[in-house]
Structure 1
Amino acid sequence: MSSVEKTGSDSGAIENRASRMREKLQKELEPVELVIEDVSYQHAGHAGMKGRTDGETHFNVKIVSKGFEGMNLVKRHRLVYDLLREELDSGLHALSIVSKTPSESPP
């Protein structure tokens, strides 16, 4: 499995948002590829960042999993949002999702 985390200012934190997201997605979807990128720095000064000090508010997620087979794009995204509901309820402001099955993703 490939897993990449690109985090901002809290990359040294023991349990940052990207790590929690990775754990939840790996546990439930057993991805063959998982890339989580913290792009919060690109949104500094935006409404979603006001009053936030941790900077972990905007993420790009690419996930390739057999668990998406038979699902359309909307169902895949709903599943990811449901799995990350706790993060969304606790400060995750924006999530960009690329969700594919292994047969849809080039090697």
Structure 2
Amino acid sequence: MSLEQQLIERLTTLAPVHLEVINESSGHGGYFPGKESHFKVVVVSNEFNGLRLVQRHQKVYAVASDLMSPGRIHALAIHAYVPEEWQGQSPASPECAHAPKA
């Protein structure tokens, strides 16, 4: 199973009403086809009610902890919302300084 699929599986334990997992690996240095190292996740869940941003991130890291190891997920951008906050889109990711040049 791909890292992306494993990440999706773990994030579903947070009972999301909206979930996006975007593999952004191709925009980073050392990329080759099939590499899975950089992900952006958008999670909208009632599980985050009453939690500060850092606590929301801690919940996401807790369910993905076994995927965050050398040779697996190197970077994880987290956008965690409660349904009342979700506006239908997340911020764009910044360009990587070491991204492959076209």
TM-score range, shorter chain: 0.7 to 0.9
Alignment of 1:92 with 2:47, yes or no, is no
Q: Percent identity at matched positions?
A: 33
Q: Which has the higher helix share?
A: 1
| Structure 1: segments with no counterpart, 5+ residues | 1-14
Q: Which residue of 64, 79, 82 corresponds with 2:44?
A: 64
The TM-score, its normalising length taken from structure 2, stands at 0.78
Task: Provide Cα deviations, 1:14-73, integer angstroms capped at 9, x if missing partner.
Answer: x111111111111x211000000000011133xxx6xx8851000000000000001000
Structure 2 counterparts to residues 1-107 of structure 1, below 5 A: 15-26=1-12, 28-45=13-30, 54-89=34-69, 91-106=72-87
More displaced, 73-82 or 52-61?
Answer: 52-61
Task: Tell me the SS of whatever aligns to 1:89.
Answer: coil
* Consecutive aligned runs of 4 or more in structure 1 exceeding 4 Å deviation: none
d(CA) in 2 for partners of 1:66 and 1:18? 23
Alignment: residue pair count: 87
Deviation at residue 101 of structure 1 after TM alignment:
0.2
How far apart are residue 82 of structure 1 and its match? 1.1
State how far apart, in whole Å, the 1-side matches of 2:44 and 2:68 are: 21
Amino acid at match of 2:84: S
Shift of 1:106: 2.8
- RMSD across aligned positions (CA): 1.8
**Which structure would you say has the larger RCO, counting Cα contacts within 8 Å and 6 or more residues apart?**
2
